[in-house]
Amino acid sequence: MPKASRGSASKCRSRATVQQQSIEPDGLWSVAMLRIALELKRPGSRSLDTVIDEVVAKMGIRKDDFEKYLTEHLGLLRQAVKEKLHS
C-alpha cells in the first residue's frame, strides 16, 4: 500500500480543522432554541444556563455541538431574554 505524500496528509488535516470549526447544523438545534426561548418567557423561569442544560438533556442533543451553534445564534436568545425582562 503506498504511503500518502506530505501534501495530501496536510490537506487532510486542513479539512479536519475546517470541519471542527464549522459544524453541520442539526435539525433539532433550532427546535431546542425555540424551546429555550419559550421556557425563558414563562413566569419564574430558571437561569438561561439551567434552561439550556435541561432542554439539551431532554432532547438528547450533544451539548458541546449545540453550544457552538448557540454561539452563532446567541443574539436570538438574548433578544428573548430582553423581551422577558420588559414584559
Q: Would you list the domain boundaries of the chain? A: 24-86
Please indicate, yes or no, whether the overall pTM of this predicted structure exceeds 0.75: no
The pLDDT of residue 69:
83
Give dist(CA 68, CA 87) in Å, integer.
Answer: 29
Q: Which residue has the cell 442539526?
A: 26
Most trustworthy range by pLDDT among 17-31, 46-60, 63-77? 46-60
- What does the pLDDT look like over 21-48, one tens digit per residue? 555 567 888 889 889 889 988 888 789 8
Half-sphere exposure of 84 (CA within 13 A, CB side): 19
Tell me the torsion sign for CA atoms 54, 55, 57, 63: negative
Give dist(CA 74, CA 80) in Å, integer.
Answer: 10
Res. 6 pLDDT band, cuts 50 70 90: low
Give the single-character DSSP code of 22.
Answer: S
